[in-house]
């Protein structure tokens, strides 16, 4: 006794090809997550600094909407004038985040067209780190330009749901 089964070899080959493509995409997604391209991992954070090192920023490339995050401003020895540093942040980033706190706390904060300004007391000598805690409020790519004295550094952060 033999079974008479119709086989659709062309359909079967297309199904196998689609299965391989799907498996490949899943593997790429998992690897990207482990590396930090879409989650926390070794490639998720980066550092940018100005040419002379007066101002730098350490940040996560990817942030998540409404989740707590932070970035660190690294202010070089030449950033302080009379014990304070004036930091201006412009771009889409300042309007797209809710700042939760700044440490050390600025002696003055004000909104300016296209951004914000912080006057932060710092020691006259040495490098100072300023931590900015925030919560992203908007999705997509958010760009910022941080200016201290005559130096500036730009960064971009992508906000996912």
- Residues 69 and 49 reside in one and the same domain: yes
135 and 109 fall within a common domain = yes
Range in 88-97, 98-107, 118-127 with the lowest mean pLDDT: 118-127
Average pLDDT over residues 102-108: 93
pLDDT over 90 (residue 23)? yes
**Per-residue pLDDT at 114:** 86
The reply to whether 24 and 73 lie within a common domain is: no
Strand 97-103, strand 151-160: pairing: unpaired
CA distance 141 to 74: 23
The predicted structure's pLDDT at residue 99 = 94
Same domain, 18 and 89: no
What single DSSP character describes residue 61?
A: S
The tally of domains found in the chain comes to: 2
Given a cut of 80, whether residue 54 has pLDDT beyond it is yes
The band of 81, judged by pLDDT with boundaries at 50, 70 and 90, is: confident
């Amino acid at each position: 006794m033999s079974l008479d089964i119709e086989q659709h070899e062309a359909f079967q080959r297309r199904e196998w090809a689609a299965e391989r493509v799907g498996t490949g995409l899943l593997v790429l997604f998992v690897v990207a997550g482990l590396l930090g391209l879409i989650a926390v991992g070794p490639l998720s954070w980066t550092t940018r600094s100005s040419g002379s090192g007066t101002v730098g920023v350490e940040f996560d490339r990817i942030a998540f909407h409404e989740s707590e995050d932070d970035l660190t401003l690294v202010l070089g020895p030449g950033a302080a004038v009379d014990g304070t540093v004036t930091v201006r942040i412009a771009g889409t980033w300042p309007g797209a985040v809710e700042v939760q706190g700044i440490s050390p706390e600025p002696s003055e904060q004000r909104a300016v067209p296209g951004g914000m300004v912080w006057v932060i007391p710092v020691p006259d000598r040495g490098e100072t780190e300023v931590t900015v805690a925030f919560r992203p409020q908007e999705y997509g790519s958010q760009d910022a330009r941080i200016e201290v004295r005559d130096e500036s550094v730009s960064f971009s952060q992508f906000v996912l749901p």
